[in-house]
Amino acid sequence: MNNWNNQSGANIPQGVDRIFDACGIAAYINIDGRLEDGKKVVSMITTMKDRENGLGAGYAAYGLFPDYKDFYCIQLLLDDKQALVRVSEFLKTKVRIIKDEEVSTYCVPGIKKPYPLIWRFFVTPEKIDVNNEQDYMIRVVMGINIKVDGAFCMSSGKDMAVFKGNAWSDEVADFYRIQDYKAYMWLSHSRFPTNTCGWWGGAHPFNILDWSVVHNGEITSYGTNKRYLEMWEYKCTLLTDTEVVAYLFDLLVRKHKLPIYIACMAMAPPYFHLIDEVLDDKERELYNTIRRNYRPAMLNGPFSICVGSNNPVPTLIGLTDRKKLRPLVAADSKDGKSIYLASEECAIRIANDNLNEIWAPHSGNPVIVEVGKGVIWKGTETHLGNKELVITE
């Protein structure tokens, strides 16, 4: 990559410590599918300023391109115009390009130049069996990241896009003018680079197809998860722990067709001693089967994540590790039209102080929300019969 990817971060005033406590995550979904500009999600993530260090931030938005909703939107970070030519030629050999355009960006004093060139392509694969189309598009995306010099794919889903960079969350928002976009679901992140340097492609969200993930914490099982995913032809090229989470959701939900709740259980499974206490034989065997068959998909380490997808139904997911070593708060609006997730309650209240309920999902127990249905799993229900999965040890 060019020197914009070798930056150590945004312009930080001398004497300001970059190493703060944690990263911040915030997300919300409008259950009625109402499109809303990015001002609210920007206010949510930027109010948690103490969780930032200026080394990266980003946003994911769903419902952006109604006129092109049937096409994959490949949104790219590029070194220069030569990289644009290379990626364009590569795509012409793989897909039909419906439209391409430069993504509008704006000079921000706090972000170091040179900026990357940011481009999007709306594409569709030709003569591909519909059952293999998404697998084919994953190979196209992986091919860009591996084979095309100077190009990195930020997102590749339909009717959505990821916007991220090496800066503070308010600077990334101004760089893309996030407030000018409208979407029915927003995810956001302010990044603390636990194990990797701060660079544009390494900022959150991480995406594959329609799946986008923002993450607070550390996936210490990265090596095991990476080897498991590579058995299924995923290529983990970023050497960043969160990348595997996006791919695991795609593998378990889309390819293996697990219900989202079961996929979350595979990634944050109940402890064996709790499974042993389940009285119902079939239920107990289900939990043991998930643990046996999906052991390499289990996520170790402290984490809280927000996950977005629009295929087949627009869905927002929140999940923490089995001991809840990273925070996650949920809330619903009093009018019942919106659900919020965030690292801190203040991020939710600054977006909407007219709330019905604020709750803390239990450890390893997901919040699952769908457009048109609302909350279908609150994260405070019981995993194991009448026993709540709340880890106190």
Q: Which of 23, 73, 153, 306 is catalytic?
A: 23
Q: How far is it, in rounded angstroms, from Cα 57 to Cα 82?
A: 27
- The answer to whether 339 touches 358, Cβ cutoff 8 Å, is no
Q: How far is it, in rounded angstroms, from Cα 213 to Cα 111?
A: 24
Query: What are the beta bridge partners of residue 368?
Result: 317, 377
Q: How far is it, in rounded angstroms, from Cα 196 to Cα 328?
A: 23
Q: How far is it, in rounded angstroms, from Cα 113 to Cα 3?
A: 9
Q: How far is it, in rounded angstroms, from Cα 305 to Cα 352?
A: 21
23 is catalytic: yes
The one-letter amino acid at 14? Q
Closest CA to 44 of 181, 186, 201, 182: 186
**Tokens coding 298:** 């289990």
Q: How far is it, in rounded angstroms, from Cα 251 to Cα 253?
A: 6
Q: How far is it, in rounded angstroms, from Cα 367 to Cα 378?
A: 5
- Counting every residue, how long is the chain? 393
Query: How many Cα atoms occupy the beta-carbon half-sphere of 303 within 13 Å?
Result: 28
Query: What are the beta bridge partners of residue 127?
Result: none
Q: How far is it, in rounded angstroms, from Cα 161 to Cα 67?
A: 14
Q: How far is it, in rounded angstroms, from Cα 299 to Cα 20?
A: 24
- The answer to whether 85 touches 57, Cβ cutoff 8 Å, is no
> What one-character-per-residue DSSP string does 31-62 give?
TT---EETHHHHHHHHTTGGG--SS-EEEEEE
Q: How far is it, in rounded angstroms, from Cα 187 to Cα 230?
A: 27
Catalytic residues, by residue number, are: 23
